[in-house]
Structure 1
């Protein structure tokens, strides 16, 4: 039985990490930590775990095997490194860090401690995305030409524990806005589905919808892989109606739409006129009723138990982060930025 703890008691911990640990029969929840004592004690009581306000104190006092890092972005690296140095396996929320150097430091700490580091990119576990990856890898769509993907909703106000005063909107704590919150999900997803890394990125990034924000709330990127697959990525907190989490793949043998249809998770319109429709179970959403098991915690627990590399190790998280960092650079320089993800 693995003993688990969660550092950071905001909404991602409350609605995803803690319930999924509690539902896993191989895990005992030991402790929770948050600088907000009331919040830590509330979740500690809810999940029968010790509550702390100092993560260093928690790491010293508790016998922990695994920990989820669910803090604001600027704390991902220092908290993860402290936990790894304490001999604890780490599952870190995305984006894994605020710089390439921080990501490298996290990866190095995991290697030195001989502990596993996984980044919580949950879109890899969505059934429609897994089906798409398998079909593309088997060549069932032929040559892939291009794509478009989007992740947008009304913003963290309705999701974050602190509402409009959330750290999500503060540059010194979040570092990056919609691109880090939503865009990094899609850079990771596309790398996963296509089986390729991106080699260049261009971007337009704006803060146009949130008067209380010092980070971006709307962004559009153009991306290119090494084999010449090109496409667009939109990430936004300015979608004032329904959430959008769809991806479309344009290929030699047809067009594949993922999470674009209200009933069918995968829709394929083949070039010969044939059609395929698959109902595979919905994608997670921030909207009411959208909090199903993400698969992230179960995958992490299994990898630790088997002492096998996790599904999304630090190196993968770093590559997805670097696309976002490249987009920031492209927006600032008004140029296409070449990415070195070797």
Structure 2
């Protein structure tokens, strides 16, 4: 497959390295080592797909151009718009032209995330009671130095989108509405620490932060027949997956743990997945539409002062 990388920031460089010899052109409006300044200048007959590693604002317009011209597209998360109709239009274009529009949530390809999905779907845990996740990094200062990143809802849209996608990946379609528990601006103009959740079954609490000086992720799922836990990601390793089997009527549970110490496999696995979608089809924006609606609702609530 012949691909164009659009945007040569940190993510664009990673995508270029993963795609290797399949990259036939690069696009960036500023950086001098890019071959083109605009995607429109790249000959349409020279590529099959584009990897969009750009800020949020131009994503929809770029996708309309690509899908409308029969080109597959991988776009870095999140795919957001103030207007739901924009994502509906993208879904229609994708179906009409037979192209793939795939939003990159690479954590789906974390080995322990796939183990968690398979465990939940197996029914071994029984009814899920509670889901709690935390995702934090220490990038507050870098975000503050970036005029386009330190705006609006900040960490809520950046890391919160990952957590919502993970919930969907593990649990499938989620019906209950989410609410803001706390939204703070400790160092930044935008929110740099946000906690949000949903009541009902399961009960969900999600926390995101740019103020975690050691990057960290954890997930705790408690259920009818036991619990499952993830500590850290492969890129920050070691990463551990633990399953505990409930002992009735009470007592110390049986426990099994798997710990991985390895390089981050998710970028390469995701690129392979994208290529397989391009070959066989199967693109869908339903999860993106749900994430978009949920984050826009939460963002509006946070900006209005709810949870502060």
- 1:91 has 2:74 as partner: yes
Q: What's the offset of the Cα at 1:304?
A: 1.0
291 and 268 in structure 1: CA distance in 2 versus 1, 3 angstrom threshold: closer
Give me the whole-angstrom Cα distance separating, in 1, the residues matched to 2:261 and 2:290.
28
Q: What's the offset of the Cα at 1:84?
A: 0.8
Question: Deviation per CA, 1:277-320, whole angstroms, max 9, x where unpaired?
Answer: 113566xxxxxx76863521110011112x2214xx32222222
- 1:14 has 2:1 as partner: no
142 and 321 in structure 1: CA distance in 2 versus 1, 3 angstrom threshold: same
Question: Deviation per CA, 1:220-253, whole angstroms, max 9, x where unpaired?
Answer: 101246xx211111111122x2111211111112
244 and 73 in structure 1: CA distance in 2 versus 1, 3 angstrom threshold: same
Give me the whole-angstrom Cα distance separating, in 2, the residues matched to 1:281 and 1:140.
26
Q: Calculate the aligned-residue CA RMSD, in Å.
A: 2.5
Question: Deviation per CA, 1:108-163, whole angstroms, max 9, x where unpaired?
Answer: 221222211111011111110111111111111111000111111112655x8xx8
Q: Which of these residues, 194, 199, 206, is aligned with residue 184 of structure 2?
A: 206
- 1:164 has 2:135 as partner: no
Query: Residue 168 of structure 1: SS of its match in structure 2?
Result: coil
| Count of residue pairs brought into register by the alignment | 297
Match of 2:168 in 1: 191
TM-score calculated relative to the size of structure 1:
0.79
Give me the whole-angstrom Cα distance separating, in 2, the residues matched to 1:268 and 1:61.
50
- 1:82 has 2:80 as partner: no
Give me the whole-angstrom Cα distance separating, in 2, the residues matched to 1:264 and 1:36.
37
Give me the whole-angstrom Cα distance separating, in 2, the residues matched to 1:109 and 1:78.
12
Match of 1:339 in 2: none
Alignment of 1:22-171 (within 5 A): 22=20, 28-38=22-32, 41=33, 44=34, 51-58=35-42, 60=43, 63-99=46-82, 100-155=84-139, 164-165=145-146, 167-169=148-150, 171=151
Q: Which of these residues, 218, 240, 244, is aligned with residue 216 of structure 2?
A: 244
Contact 1:205–1:216 (8 Å) recurs in 2 = yes
Give me the whole-angstrom Cα distance separating, in 2, the residues matched to 1:18 and 1:265.
30
Contact 1:133–1:195 (8 Å) recurs in 2 = no
Query: Residue 265 of structure 1: SS of its match in structure 2?
Result: strand
Question: Bigger CA drift: 74-83 or 257-266?
Answer: 257-266
124 and 93 in structure 1: CA distance in 2 versus 1, 3 angstrom threshold: same
109 and 205 in structure 1: CA distance in 2 versus 1, 3 angstrom threshold: farther
196 and 112 in structure 1: CA distance in 2 versus 1, 3 angstrom threshold: closer
Question: Bigger CA drift: 80-89 or 93-102?
Answer: 93-102
Q: What's the offset of the Cα at 1:198?
A: 4.0
Q: What's the offset of the Cα at 1:332?
A: 4.8
Contact 2:125–2:225 (8 Å) recurs in 1 = yes
Give me the whole-angstrom Cα distance separating, in 1, the residues matched to 2:122 and 2:265.
31
Alignment of 1:282-301 (within 5 A): 293-301=267-275
- 1:218 has 2:193 as partner: yes
294 and 252 in structure 1: CA distance in 2 versus 1, 3 angstrom threshold: farther
TM-score calculated relative to the size of structure 2:
0.87
Contact 1:265–1:281 (8 Å) recurs in 2 = no
Give me the whole-angstrom Cα distance separating, in 2, the residues matched to 1:291 and 1:125.
7
Q: What's the offset of the Cα at 1:31?
A: 0.8
Contact 1:91–1:118 (8 Å) recurs in 2 = yes
Match of 1:324 in 2: 295
Q: What's the offset of the Cα at 1:264?
A: 5.0
Q: What's the offset of the Cα at 1:67?
A: 0.5
Gaps of 5+ in 2: 248-252
Give me the whole-angstrom Cα distance separating, in 2, the residues matched to 1:63 and 1:235.
41
